[in-house]
Amino acid sequence: MRLFRLAPLALLGSAVVVCAADPPKKPTPKFTLGKDTTVITEPLTADGYLDYETALNDRLRGKIKPEANAVVGLFAATGPKPEGGELPDDFFKALGIPRPPEKGDYLVKHFQFFADELRGENARAFNDREDELRKQPWKAADAPKHAEWLKVNEKPLAAAVAASKRADYYHPLISRPKDGSPGTLIGALLPLPQKCREIASALTLRAMLRCGEGKFDDAWADILAVHRLGRLVARGGTSIEMLVGVALGAIAHQSEQAFIAASKPDAKTALKCQANLLALPPWPTYAEKLNLGERFVALDTLQSLRRDGTERLTVRRGNQPKPTREEIDARMSKLDWDAMFRLITRWYDTMVAAVAKPTRAERVKAGAKADVDLKELLSLSKLKDGVVGEVLKQLEELDDLVGRAEDEKLRTAVSEKVVASLLGLLAPAVQKMGDSVDRAEQTARHGVLAFALAAYHADQGKYPASLADLSPKYLKQVPDDLFSGKPLIYTPADGGFLLYSVGVNGADDGGRSFGDDPKGDDLVVRVPRK
């Protein structure tokens, strides 16, 4: 609320005559606002620029309440400085909570607790050993210091598990500096998603310890918490959060296979675990990330170049004085900003349409075309000197427009080169991002099938001759391979089985995955495990 002071000009009897303040002037936009240019038209800052940061956070937050927000719950595990740096007050204000206290029962960081082990020539061997502990059951006597680390982190890990049970996820994207000057969304901090990797590693490490101790219900609770965290983090506004979520899902799936092998669940337990996986919220689509967070970051970055980027980019030769704001504004006004905004908006429209196709085959075809279109666009700008150098080069070229502003063809060409420079920095590889999400979905399908196979084995004493034998008792419908559109490849053998998808390359590599020699691209579930 803003309070205005009103001064009486005269008193006539009991009447007070008040001079009304002039209404505030509306800011003047620096370019055309609209769906085909800037996508949004408000809110505007006092100097006539769009506040993309506020607009994006409002959309991401929606109606999410702090008590339902997993991010709020995770701060009870990490404290106010997940990665060591201090977050701005606006970050916690956006969450709707006070800043957490500096001291508390927070996660004891891995790199601090194992500082001696991670130093020097033995660091690689230590990391390899720790990786083994996450893949198979172990006991405290096998790795006493790891058991101690998990013990001191009992309370923060309990807070993380509780946070994973919350329904929503909203991580604010705050970039504004402490001095109040405008920030740029591309500089927004994402400390918590990265910290979730460490939390997931700790939970899966503890799950394997609990398997080694025969505490299988507790072990599954930890693995399921990592699954939930993955789905929650993937719902954030950025591609980075989606990739972190996918990574958490892969970590959980790896421990999930070890859990089945160690616990040998009866049919009832296996189907209960399967039901837990089926109840997880679906993976968000990559189209959602492109259409909102990634698009807003690109538009905001372009706008920041118009607003203040040239103050850092303008070249001064010799003893030339620093250009004034008016001089900078005059120089930047030479660019065709409406055309630049339209170009970015159209390109994101194309990308969103490509990755929103209903089938994998359609997404691959459209995504490949989008990647080709991006390469053609980037060919306008060779980027030999990097993005900043290329933008400077184009601005130097613009100086030739002085006195001949009627040369719209050159003006448009230079403007397109600047946009190409920015997209070279900002635009994701559409197909690779889509592949990551599809890989996560196929891996999730494998988890559901693995528990169906475990339940069948518990009842029948053997694995089925065909996946079709699982339906309808152990699984309503057996899913096909997302990548081939055909049935998954399944072979029972030697008291176990081999189940796999052909993976991103679409070729049957004989059940060889990335970790095999020679390497393959198949997504594999193998019992017994190698």
Quickly list DSSP for 419-432: HHHHHHHH---HHH
Handedness of CA 234, 292, 175, 420 (dihedral sign): positive
Give the mean pLDDT of 155-165.
Answer: 98
pLDDT of residue 229: 98
Handedness of CA 145, 148, 152, 158 (dihedral sign): positive
Per-residue pLDDT at 150 exceeds 50: yes
Tell me the two tokens of residue 462.
């053997």
Distance separating alpha carbons of residues 248 and 252, to the nearest angstrom: 6
Per-residue pLDDT at 23 exceeds 60: no
Beta strands at 496-501 and 489-493: parallel, antiparallel or unpaired: antiparallel
pLDDT of residue 399: 58
Average pLDDT score over the chain: 86
The full DSSP string for 83-127 is TSSPPPHHHHHHHTSPPPPSSSS----HHHHTTTTTSGGGHHHHH
Confidence of residue 423 (pLDDT cuts 50, 70, 90): confident
Confidence of residue 137 (pLDDT cuts 50, 70, 90): very high
Give the mean pLDDT of 326-346.
Answer: 82
pTM (2 d.p.) = 0.88
Handedness of CA 159, 160, 166, 169 (dihedral sign): positive
| SS3 label, residue 69 | strand
From the list 436, 472, 467, the residue with the least C-alpha distance to 449 is 467
In the chain, pLDDT over 70 holds for what percent of residues?
Answer: 84
Tell me the two tokens of residue 43.
């809110």
Give the mean pLDDT of 124-135.
Answer: 92
Per-residue pLDDT at 450 exceeds 90: yes
From the list 170, 179, 156, 12, the residue with the least C-alpha distance to 78 is 156
Weakest-pLDDT range from 7-16, 197-206, 399-408, 425-434: 7-16
Per-residue pLDDT at 359 exceeds 60: yes
Confidence of residue 15 (pLDDT cuts 50, 70, 90): very low
8-state DSSP, 290: I
Confidence of residue 323 (pLDDT cuts 50, 70, 90): low
8-state DSSP, 122: G
Handedness of CA 33, 186, 53, 4 (dihedral sign): negative
| SS3 label, residue 10 | strand
In the chain, pLDDT over 90 holds for what percent of residues?
Answer: 62
Kindly report the three-state secondary structure assignment for every residue of 308-372: HHHHHHCCCCCCCCCCCHHHHHHHHCCCCHHHHHHHHHHHHHHHHHHHCCCCHHHHHHHHHHHHH
pLDDT of residue 12: 27
Cα atoms in the Cβ-side hemisphere of radius 13 Å centred on 401: 23
Tell me the two tokens of residue 467.
């996946």
Dihedral, CA atoms, 513, 515, 519, 524, nearest 10 degrees?
-10
Residue type present at position 5: R
Q: What is the pLDDT of residues 291-321, one digit of tens each?
A: 999 999 999 989 988 886 545 444 444 455 6
pLDDT of residue 18: 39
Give the mean pLDDT of 78-102.
Answer: 93
Per-residue pLDDT at 131 exceeds 50: yes
Structural contact between residues 505 and 486, judged by C-beta atoms closer than 8 angstroms: no
Strand partners, 491: 498
Residue with the two structure tokens 């309503």: 476
pLDDT of residue 279: 97
Confidence of residue 204 (pLDDT cuts 50, 70, 90): very high
Q: So where are the chain's domains?
A: 287-431, 459-530
> Which one is predicted more confidently, 1 or 91?
91
Distance separating alpha carbons of residues 58 and 128, to the nearest angstrom: 43
Confidence of residue 475 (pLDDT cuts 50, 70, 90): very high
Phi-psi region of 518 (alpha: psi -120 to 50; beta: other; left: phi over 0): beta
Q: How far is CA 259 from CA 88, 185, 211, 229, 402, in A?
A: 41, 41, 7, 18, 71
Residue with the two structure tokens 């001089």: 327
Weakest-pLDDT range from 7-21, 47-61, 153-167: 7-21
- Torsions phi, psi for 379 (to 5 deg): -65, -20
Give the mean pLDDT of 148-173.
Answer: 97
pLDDT of residue 445: 96
Confidence of residue 529 (pLDDT cuts 50, 70, 90): confident
Structural contact between residues 477 and 452, judged by C-beta atoms closer than 8 angstroms: no
| SS3 label, residue 491 | strand
Distance separating alpha carbons of residues 255 and 258, to the nearest angstrom: 5
Give the mean pLDDT of 41-54.
Answer: 92
Dihedral, CA atoms, 3, 8, 11, 14, nearest 10 degrees?
-10
Confidence of residue 14 (pLDDT cuts 50, 70, 90): very low
From the list 440, 528, 435, 525, the residue with the least C-alpha distance to 488 is 525
Strand partners, 487: 480
- Torsions phi, psi for 79 (to 5 deg): 80, 180
Number of Cβ within 10 Å of residue 63's Cβ equals: 6
Confidence of residue 415 (pLDDT cuts 50, 70, 90): confident
Give the mean pLDDT of 5-32.
Answer: 49
From the list 256, 155, 237, 166, the residue with the least C-alpha distance to 199 is 155
Number of Cβ within 10 Å of residue 409's Cβ equals: 8
Element spanning 12, H or E: strand 8-12
Long-range CB contacts (within 8 A, 24+) of 12-21? none
Helices (H), ranges, 427-466: 430-460
Bond preceding residue 24 cis, omega within 30 of 0: no
Confidence of residue 196 (pLDDT cuts 50, 70, 90): very high
Distance separating alpha carbons of residues 161 and 77, to the nearest angstrom: 9
Element spanning 306, H or E: none
Residue with the two structure tokens 């893949």: 135
Q: What is the pLDDT of residues 479-522, one digit of tens each?
A: 999 999 999 999 998 889 999 999 999 999 999 998 888 899 99
Q: What is the pLDDT of residues 94-128, one digit of tens each?
A: 999 999 999 999 999 999 999 999 988 889 999 99
Confidence of residue 454 (pLDDT cuts 50, 70, 90): very high
